[in-house]
Amino acid sequence: MTKTVRLTMAQALTRYLTRQMTVIDDNMVPLFGGVWAIFGHGNVAGIGEALYQVREELPTYRAHNEQAMAHAAIAYAKTNFRQRMMAATSSIGPGAVNMVTAAALAHVNRLPVLLLPGDVFANRVPDPVLQQVEDFGDGTVSVNDCFRPVSRYFDRITRPEQIIPALARAMQVLTDPAECGPVTLSLCQDVQAEAYDYPESFFAERVWTLRRPRPDRDELAVAAEVLKAAKKPLIVAGGGVLYSGASEELDRFVAATGIPVCETQGGKSSLTDEHALNMAAVGVTGTSAANRLAEEADVVLAVGTRLQDFTTGSWSLFKNAGKTIIGLNVQPFDAGKHMALPLVADAREGLAELGAAVAGYQAPVAWIENAKAGKAEWRKAAAKVTAATNVALPSDAQVIGAVQRTLGSDVIVLHAAGGLPGEMHKLWQASGPGSYHSEYGFSCMGYEIAGGLGAKMARPDKEVVIMIGDGSYLMLNSEIATSVMLGLKLTIVLLDNRGYGCINRLQMATGGANFNNLLRDTKHEMLPDIDFVAHAKSLGANAEKAASIADLEASLDWARKSDRTTVVLIDTDPLVSTGEGGHWWDVAVPEVSARAEVNAARKGYEEKLKLQRVGD
């Protein structure tokens, strides 16, 4: 007879999570680093009680905002290169829906997170319960259906035994490199508390290790043939390089072939910035060194990248009409984009086998020398815009220079939205893999501070430096208090340009009037003089405002020595961004307008559209 144990569905779920293990650096560790939770009537009695039972093996962390706690969970997984992850549980209704944005963020970025929102009663007896949306035409709908399009796997648990197949499927998705993304198990409140005789075998320890699919023999042969004939080859390294732990293999591949590399936002730090053949950032926020090569490349080996518009310059950067893209990706959907020759494989294994298949091939010397010269030129340009200065309102680039000079590269630097991602992509000199954490798939304002907290939980030994604008800071900053409570120190560099600087610049570039972005251009009775230092201090952080770049360097030094989360604030110029490098980005300009500036911008836009490749 099957041995069983009588547990509630919630108890079975939490016990199951404690039994999922992984191996990091030869050490067996729990796959789930913990559970973020904000309780309400939809989860406090069920999941809440069950989490209490396992609190020693699976710690529960309390946050201040459900979106933020899911951000922290997602950043934890990203910092762990998807090898470890967290869960997040909310009540029903608003608590649940607060996590939908974070689910979308994880979905876009292909990051694992287990979302456990409470749901309405499966038995429907007390309906409508507090916070329940009533659909007049569909009795099965709840707000949690909003998770469906932004989850890689969604399930609603309406009977306690359903959790058995649902968790099996959840684990497949969370740990599969190709399918990886958010999983939502929507937990009906009454079912969380319902008991069932679960087979003991369900709770057997399970060790999850990274699956590394090898390339198909035929796809490999075709890719090798194409690459061996390349005169101007270029590698685009995406986030998949980092998630596969393929940096060393990439380094070997580059050393053997001499092929220059450029990096997407997700792939930055695949190679160190010091690497002679790392042209660094590519695309809309790319270096001149990378983009020059991208324009000419005849074979583009795209490794572990989604080829989003910031990488491809809205599909106008790779100009060589005869070019071939080889899509080395673990996910066939990505491998075949833009008519690429697919090479479906794990990045590390794929590079190793492709390297062997093209053994003896070397990129032409002139192409390599051209790349190195471009890099040297870019370094000079970057040094100029990041140099120390005593201007009254520094640029983002000058702040980046100060942070880099003071804190060095051996930190985890993290950003997500505003003008900073572009500047950081171009200018930050990344050290080893994972030292640069950019959430630029969803570019979600409000990711930064909560994300930094998740990164610090994953790597408590590292200084986590968050680069954030005033807009993002004001959108979601409450987890500063959580970081103080947990003793997880963050260094937050807050660039106050008094508004949505990058969107104001985009508005101007598309012919728009300065409208509704910078605070001064909004409907207002009086302009707020926001005291960010007082705000940060009220949440328990240390905080200080720097009056100049020199002052900022002193403040950063103080922040480094601080034992708790520290906010360092500086006023910056909202109108300046780095002109060097970069590439056109497709933002649709109105075809007709009463504004002459818009009509002029439209003309320029139509010229650019001609460069956009259609059909390949």
Ligand X SMILES: Cc1ncc(C[n+]2csc(CCOP(=O)(O)OP(=O)(O)O)c2C)c(N)n1
β-pair partners for 468: 494
**The one segment of 57-65, 244-252, 323-331, 466-474 that binds ligand X by CB under 6 A:** 466-474
506 lines the binding site for ligand X (CB under 6 A): no
452 lines the binding site for ligand X (CB under 6 A): no
Q: Which is nearer to Mg ion, 251 or 396 (CB)?
A: 396
Q: Which is nearer to Mg ion, 471 or 582 (CB)?
A: 471
Q: Which is nearer to ligand X, 301 or 492 (CB)?
A: 492
Q: For residues 562 and 545, what is the distance between their CA atoms, to the nearest angstrom? A: 15
Q: Which is nearer to Mg ion, 428 or 473 (CB)?
A: 473
User: What are the residue ranges of helices labelled H in 279-364?
Assistant: 288-296, 309-312, 332-335, 347-357
Phi, psi of 302, deg, nearest 5: -90, 110
Q: Which does 472 bind (CB under 5 to 8 A by kind): ligand X, Mg ion, none?
A: ligand X
**Residue 134 identity:** E
Q: Which is nearer to ligand X, 242 or 466 (CB)?
A: 466
The H helix count followed by the E strand count for the chain is: 24, 23
Three-class SS state of 465:
strand
471 lines the binding site for ligand X (CB under 6 A): yes
Three-class SS state of 289:
helix
One of 133, 503, 509, 575 touching ligand X (CB under 6 A): 503
One of 278, 308, 497, 542 touching Mg ion (CB under 5 A): 497
Q: Which is nearer to ligand X, 243 or 442 (CB)?
A: 442
104 lines the binding site for ligand X (CB under 6 A): no
Phi, psi of 416, deg, nearest 5: -150, -45
448 lines the binding site for Mg ion (CB under 5 A): no
Burial class (CB in 10 A: 0-12, 13-18, 19+), 117: buried
Q: Which is nearer to ligand X, 40 or 501 (CB)?
A: 501
User: Could you tell me where the beta strands, DSSP code E, fall in 176-312?
Assistant: 182-188, 195-199, 206-208, 233-237, 261-263, 278-281, 299-303
**The one segment of 90-98, 167-175, 298-306, 501-509 that binds ligand X by CB under 6 A:** 501-509
Task: Name, in order, each residue with C-beta under 8 angstroms of 253's C-beta and a sequence gap of 6 or more.
Answer: 235, 259, 351, 354, 355
571 lines the binding site for Mg ion (CB under 5 A): no
Beta-carbon count within 10 A of 128 CB: 11
Q: Which is nearer to ligand X, 335 or 420 (CB)?
A: 420
Q: For residues 197 and 5, what is the distance between their CA atoms, to the nearest angstrom? A: 5
Q: Which does 502 bind (CB under 5 to 8 A by kind): ligand X, Mg ion, none?
A: ligand X
**Residue 615 identity:** G
Q: Which does 419 bind (CB under 5 to 8 A by kind): ligand X, Mg ion, none?
A: ligand X
Which residue, among 183, 209, 170, has the nearest Cα to 83 in the 3D structure? 209
To 10 degrees, the CA torsion angle through 142, 143, 146, 152? -60
Which residue, among 69, 216, 94, 78, has the nearest Cα to 144 in the 3D structure? 94
472 lines the binding site for ligand X (CB under 6 A): yes
One of 260, 434, 446, 501 touching Mg ion (CB under 5 A): 501
Binding mask 412-451 for ligand X (x = CB under 6 A): -----xxxx----------------------xxxx-----
One of 313, 501, 511, 512 touching ligand X (CB under 6 A): 501
Q: Which does 443 bind (CB under 5 to 8 A by kind): Mg ion, ligand X, none?
A: ligand X
Q: Which does 503 bind (CB under 5 to 8 A by kind): Mg ion, ligand X, none?
A: ligand X
Phi, psi of 550, deg, nearest 5: -65, -40
How many residues bind to ligand X according to rule CB under 6 A? 17
Q: For residues 566 and 591, what is the distance between their CA atoms, to the nearest angstrom? A: 47
Q: For residues 600 and 510, what is the distance between their CA atoms, to the nearest angstrom? A: 9
User: Could you tell me where the beta strands, DSSP code E, fall in 381-462?
Assistant: 412-415, 436-438
497 lines the binding site for ligand X (CB under 6 A): yes
Q: How far is the CB of 540 from ligand X (least distance, A)?
A: 22
Which residue, among 311, 156, 324, has the nearest Cα to 226 in the 3D structure? 324
Q: Which is nearer to Mg ion, 186 or 472 (CB)?
A: 472
One of 181, 267, 471, 582 touching Mg ion (CB under 5 A): 471
Q: Per CB under 5 A, which of residues 510..539 are in contact with Mg ion?
A: none
Task: Report whether 396 contacts 420 (CB < 8 A).
Answer: yes
Binding mask 378-417 for ligand X (x = CB under 6 A): ---------------------------------------x
Q: Which is nearer to Mg ion, 34 or 574 (CB)?
A: 574
One of 470, 479, 544, 571 touching Mg ion (CB under 5 A): 470
Q: Per CB under 5 A, which of residues 176..235 are in contact with Mg ion?
A: none
Q: Which does 351 bind (CB under 5 to 8 A by kind): ligand X, Mg ion, none?
A: none
Q: What is the contact surface with ligand X in residues (CB under 6 A)?
A: 417-420, 443-446, 469-472, 497, 500-503
Q: What is the contact surface with Mg ion in residues (CB under 5 A)?
A: 469-471, 497, 501
